[in-house]
């Protein structure tokens, strides 16, 4: 049986995919290993300046975990460089320097390499779980030592970090609860579900997805909020009104994955509502980019456009296109993927190939700053989804 011919948008998306993959394999992965890794002291630098030099200073746990993730994914995408060495280099430093005696992970090391002793944040723990899962899945056989570390961390969260109204505690300000770390916890639980198959990872994913469906969105539906109180009521004042289009897309992709895996059409419906809000209200038509922040009335609050929002727009567009039965709606998601890929390319035009810019202001000017290593996770995960195309799975 012959396959259906590609639409013009799918053809254009294929060209963009090849361009972005060439950038990844031939520029970004080599640069962030050769320059972005600290080959003398271990781990990875937080940033590389636009002249191609590493930036020294404090190191967040999330960056170390994300770089482990990035090189494991880079190997899966066909990078022929020393990706296994990069993964091992990152894991040795991350586990050796950030893991606490109780099985949780410190948030940050100071410039001298010592832990800054603040209570461990849920955000950092979620990325520790994701890095351990991705590194384990990249090996020929799942690494039982990594799984044991993840099990201990999961157990600590389950026994010590339960919120009274559901979810977990552990935020920068514990009087303000956040949806964002739960999004990454769902991502990590889904990753471990694939690696381990243990029922408790499935339960963690279910619990987190259900919490999102029940508590994180306004009554109007499809408008996902960021900040809450301990009862998961929107936070008082401005904080409780903030809506991030990038997270509209990121949650849409995760809920679509979870909904397909569980046969939950209600979750898939919400995923499309989330995407619709992000695409309908969060894209600046003049710059062609997803803005950083809306209010709950869907007016633009902060027109700055962060790189990561473009990658999540791209990723969600492709995930939804793959599973969409309606031809017209599917073409809409493919067109969204094309627009998002073009937006992403804007950020990758830098003096040193393999770097990126992070913030595009509302007036079209770039914020001149080093390229943050934390963005690599967003970029490579979008390209991982993009590499598989828009054909139904």
Rounded to the nearest angstrom, the gap between the alpha carbon of residue 55 and the centroid of all alpha carbons in its chain is 23
The pTM score is 0.97
What tokens does 240 get? 């409780």
Distance CA 47, CA 59 (A): 10
Q: What pLDDT sits at residue 241?
A: 98
Residue 7 within a domain: no
CATH number of the domain encompassing residue 307 = 1.50.10.10
Residue 348 within a domain: yes
Residue 5 within a domain: no
Domain that includes residue 333, residue range: 12-387
Distance CA 282, CA 59 (A): 31
DSSP class of residue 3? P
- Helices then strands, each counted (H, E), the chain: 13, 14
CA-CA-CA-CA dihedral for 51, 54, 55, 56, to nearest 10? -150
Residue 271 within a domain: yes
Instruction: Residue 188: name the closest of 136, 113, 142, 239 by CA.
Output: 136
Residue 2 within a domain: no
How many domains would you assign to the chain? 1
Distance CA 373, CA 65 (A): 11
Q: What pLDDT sits at residue 224?
A: 98
Q: Can you give the length of the chain in residues? A: 393
- Could you state, in chain order, the average pLDDT of each consecutive group of 10 residues for the chain (393 residues)? 77 98 98 98 97 97 98 98 96 97 98 96 98 90 84 97 96 95 98 94 98 93 94 97 98 98 97 98 98 98 98 98 95 98 98 97 98 98 95 73
For tokens 């990126």, the residue is: 356
Q: What pLDDT sits at residue 142?
A: 59
Residue 3 within a domain: no
> What is the per-residue burial (b if ≥16 Cβ within 10 Å, else e) of 8-43?
ebbebbeebbeebeebbbebbbbbbbebbbeeeebb
Residue 381 within a domain: yes
Residue 234 within a domain: yes
Q: What pLDDT sits at residue 2?
A: 43
Distance CA 137, CA 110 (A): 31
């Amino acid at each position: 049986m012959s396959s259906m011919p590609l639409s013009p948008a799918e053809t254009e998306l294929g060209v963009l995919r090849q361009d972005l993959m060439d950038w990844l394999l031939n520029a970004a992965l080599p640069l962030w290993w050769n320059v972005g890794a600290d080959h003398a002291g271990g781990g990875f630098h937080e940033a590389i300046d636009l002249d191609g030099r590493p930036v020294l200073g404090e190191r967040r746990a999330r960056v170390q975990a994300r770089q482990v993730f990035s090189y494991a994914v880079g190997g899966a995408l066909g990078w022929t460089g020393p990706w296994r060495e990069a993964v091992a280099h990152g894991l040795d430093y991350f586990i050796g320097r950030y893991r606490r005696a109780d099985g949780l992970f410190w948030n940050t090391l100071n410039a001298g390499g010592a832990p800054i002793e603040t209570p461990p944040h849920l955000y950092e723990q979620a990325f520790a779980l994701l890095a351990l899962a991705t590194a384990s899945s990249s090996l020929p056989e799942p690494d039982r030592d990594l799984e044991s570390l993840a099990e201990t961390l999961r157990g600590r969260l389950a026994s010590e970090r339960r919120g009274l109204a559901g979810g977990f505690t552990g935020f920068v300000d514990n009087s303000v609860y956040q949806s964002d770390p739960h999004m990454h916890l769902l991502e990590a639980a889904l990753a471990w579900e694939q690696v381990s198959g243990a029922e408790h990872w499935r339960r963690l994913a279910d619990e987190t997805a259900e919490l999102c469906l029940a508590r994180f969105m306004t009554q109007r539906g499809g408008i996902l909020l960021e900040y809450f109180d301990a009862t998961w009521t929107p936070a008082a004042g401005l904080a409780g009104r903030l809506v991030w289009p990038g997270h509209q897309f990121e949650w849409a992709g995760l809920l679509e994955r979870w909904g397909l895996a569980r046969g939950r059409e209600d979750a898939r419906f919400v995923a499309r509502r989330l995407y619709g809000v992000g695409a309908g209200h969060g894209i600046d038509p003049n710059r062609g980019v997803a803005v950083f922040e809306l209010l709950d009335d869907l007016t633009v609050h902060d027109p700055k456009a962060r790189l990561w929002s473009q990658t999540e727009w791209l990723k969600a567009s492709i995930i939804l296109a793959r599973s969409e039965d309606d031809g017209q709606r599917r073409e809409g998601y493919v067109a969204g993927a094309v627009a998002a890929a073009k937006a992403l390319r804007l950020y990758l035009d830098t003096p040193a190939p393999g770097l990126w810019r992070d913030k595009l202001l509302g007036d079209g000017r770039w914020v001149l700053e080093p390229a943050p290593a934390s963005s690599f996770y967003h970029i490579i995960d979008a390209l991982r989804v993009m590499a598989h195309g828009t054909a139904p799975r």
